Amino acid sequence: MSISGIFDSHSHYNSIEFDGCRNELLVKMLSDGSPVTGIIHAATDTESMLFGIRCAEKYERFYTSVGFHPESVPELPPDPEQILSDMLTRSDKICAVGEVGLDYHYEGFDRENQISLLRMEIELAMKHDLPLIFHCRNATVDFMQLMREYRPKGVVHCFSGSAETARELTDLGLYLGFGGVLTYSNSKRVKKAFAAVPDDRFLFETDCPYLAPEPFRGEVCTSYMIEQTALCGAEIKQTSAQSLADKARENTLRLFGIDLNK
């Protein structure tokens, strides 16, 4: 590989796509000399929170978030706030509340309950002085309103909005996560947003196992593939892939308060 110091700010290694190779892959990726420096697991429900906490305890430089994804609203446990508060006590490698947000993509989505869940999660994160990992799909108006209201610390993962929305979010102090979608030939809007994002406000991510970058599109994605995203970003920003990977890593460490020497 041509670059090192990759930090994957958003992954789902609990996915069944990694059954049978998960441990071997994580050990190899997180070993000394690997191009991957660190990984953050984005939790979506109770089971994946427990996965993230187990991995954070097992692997060096593996960190995790705790949170309920908006799509988990129909199956929420009776007291999600109590579960999150309890999870937060289980590891000092919990670096964020996420992935949380709004998703109006599928018919029958429950707007009101998604918003009230998100409000609770933002307030909890602020109480614990933790950043948030946000997911926003087809819900920009409601999402922006909440960002203006709370001005939380955090990252909008897999950012796919316009350059204008990118600027508004970064002006509010938020970070934007970019992954494989940046490399797709039909992603003109994402490329424009990446061109517009300040150097101290972007993170790299995979969202693996999904959204593998070109030329691996459609395959199971791993954190190694951030190299392709960085190479594509380097063309857009007219710089080197290594300097982008370094900036993205520094931004990730700053946002999540991660100290690699600890």
Pick 101 or 233: Cβ nearer Zn ion: 101
Pick 42 or 248: Cβ nearer Zn ion: 42
Taking the complex as a whole, the smallest distance from the CB of residue 114 to Zn ion amounts, in Å, to: 16
CA–CA separation, 29 and 156 (whole Å): 25
Q: Are the C-beta atoms of residues 137 and 103 closer than 8 Å to each other?
A: yes
Q: Does residue 99 have a cis peptide bond before it, meaning omega lies within 30 degrees of 0?
A: yes
CA–CA separation, 81 and 160 (whole Å): 29
Pick 207 or 227: Cβ nearer Zn ion: 207
Pick 133 or 169: Cβ nearer Zn ion: 133
Pick 241 or 255: Cβ nearer Zn ion: 255
In the chain the beta strands, taken as DSSP E runs, fall at 6-11, 36-41, 62-66, 94-103, 132-137, 154-156, 175-178, 202-204
Residue 109 main-chain phi, psi, to 5 deg: -60, 150
Pick 184 or 210: Cβ nearer Zn ion: 210
In which element (H, E) is residue 207 found?
Answer: none
CA–CA separation, 130 and 154 (whole Å): 8
CA–CA separation, 251 and 176 (whole Å): 10
Residues that bind Zn ion (CB under 5 A): 42, 207
Taking the complex as a whole, the smallest distance from the CB of residue 59 to Zn ion amounts, in Å, to: 19
Taking the complex as a whole, the smallest distance from the CB of residue 177 to Zn ion amounts, in Å, to: 9
DSSP strand pairing (36-41 vs 62-66): parallel
Taking the complex as a whole, the smallest distance from the CB of residue 33 to Zn ion amounts, in Å, to: 28
Taking the complex as a whole, the smallest distance from the CB of residue 40 to Zn ion amounts, in Å, to: 10
Taking the complex as a whole, the smallest distance from the CB of residue 12 to Zn ion amounts, in Å, to: 6
